[in-house]
Amino acid sequence: MSSSQRNFDKAEIDRKVNDVVHLMLIWEQRKIPIKRADINKHVLKEYRHAFNDVMKITDKKLQKVFGLKLLEIGEGGKRAYILVNMLEHSETQQMMNWNDNPKRGLLFTVLSLIFMSGNSMTDGTFWNALKGLGIEKDKPHPEFGDVKKLITQEFVRQWYLEIVKLPNCDPPQYEYKWGLRAYHETSKMKILEFVTSLYDKSSVMVWKSQYQDALEEQRKTI
């Protein structure tokens, strides 16, 4: 790479930044975390050496214009970026007619089940519980279609869930846990608040162990 190319053409960088902003907003449609390699391939190309600078400005623009923050999650080979809403949400968020409400309802149910059951559930217990909602692992669902695919593939690819194979189990058993993205889009305390209101209990503290767990998480993030 010649030195003249390395003199970052500011106009070109700005163009790249705008393209990355667009890319991230469109990528958000699938909710799959975007990797550095994706950004380089689709937008930066010969400017990939300017990645860090571009991302810094991209983050600023996303925050200033859209109120969205760029967040890097994961480590090593599994590092990727997601968008997180910076704004304080109010009742308007509940009023808005989001397209994927049903999926979000299912996701929230799943995350709640897992957290309240001690942060992990075996696949047997998990699917058994969902039966009570009319969801059968291998039957097509009127609302969600292939629920098994939705939960074990889509939610996992979106980093909402993590499914781990348990060692030394025959027949194979799996453990369902929260994915990295889940920790950034909701919190254990929020789940507790929901469950508490659903059960019409007076305080989140009645869930003794889960409350301690949620408190621990709060302390870590602050």
Partner 1 sequence: LVSSFVNRARQLQLRQNYRKLIDETQLNKEELVKPDSNGLMENIAKAHQLFKDVNETRGAALDSKFMTLAVTLGAQKTNLLQTDLVAFQPDEFIAKLVTCMGGTVSEDKDEIDIPENGWNVLGQKTATYFTSLTPALHPLLGAFEAIETGKTNRQATQRNKQKETSTKVQLPKELTNYKDDKKEATPEEIERVLHIINTFYKDDPASPIDYFELVVNPESYGHTIENIFHLAFLVKDGLVKIFLNENGLPVVEPVNVRPDDISPRKKVQVIVSLSMDEWYAIIDAYQLKDSLIKILF
Q: How far is the CB of 175 from partner 1 (least distance, A)?
A: 15
Question: Given CA atoms 196, 200, 203, 207 in this order, what sign does their dihedral have?
Answer: negative
Select the residue interacting with partner 1 from 83, 151, 161, 214 (CB under 8 A): 83
Under a CB-based contact definition with an 8 Å cutoff, are residues 79 and 70 in contact? no
Site membership for partner 1, residue 187 (CB under 8 A):
yes
Cα gap 15→29, rounded to integer Å: 22
Question: Given CA atoms 211, 212, 217, 221 in this order, what sign does their dihedral have?
Answer: positive
Q: How far is the CB of 82 from partner 1 (least distance, A)?
A: 8
Q: In what order do the strands lie in the sheet with 174-178?
A: 121-122, 174-178, 161-165
Under a CB-based contact definition with an 8 Å cutoff, are residues 146 and 202 in contact? no
Instruction: Record the tokens describing residue 72, joined without a space.
Output: 């890097």
Site membership for partner 1, residue 153 (CB under 8 A):
no
Cα gap 139→196, rounded to integer Å: 31
Max alpha carbon distance in the chain (Å)? Answer: 68
Site membership for partner 1, residue 58 (CB under 8 A):
no
Q: How far is the CB of 103 from partner 1 (least distance, A)?
A: 7
Residue 118 or residue 165: which is nearer to partner 1 going by CB? 118
Residue 65 or residue 77: which is nearer to partner 1 going by CB? 65
Site membership for partner 1, residue 129 (CB under 8 A):
yes
Site membership for partner 1, residue 149 (CB under 8 A):
no
Q: Number of residues in contact with partner 1, rule: CB under 8 A? A: 60
Site membership for partner 1, residue 145 (CB under 8 A):
no
Select the residue interacting with partner 1 from 5, 199, 212, 218 (CB under 8 A): 199
Three-state DSSP at 34 gives: strand
> Candidates 52-60, 129-137, 156-164, 167-175 — which segment interacts with partner 1 by CB under 8 A?
129-137
Q: Which helix (H) or strand (E) holds 205?
A: none
- What are the respective helix, strand and coil percentages of the chain, to the nearest 5? 60, 10, 30
Q: Residue type at 215?
A: L
Give residues in contact with partner 1 (CB under 8 A): 19, 22-23, 25-26, 28-29, 31, 42-43, 45, 68, 83-85, 89, 91, 93-94, 96, 98, 100-106, 108-109, 112-113, 116-117, 125, 128-130, 132-134, 143-144, 184-187, 190-191, 193-195, 198-199, 201, 205-208, 210
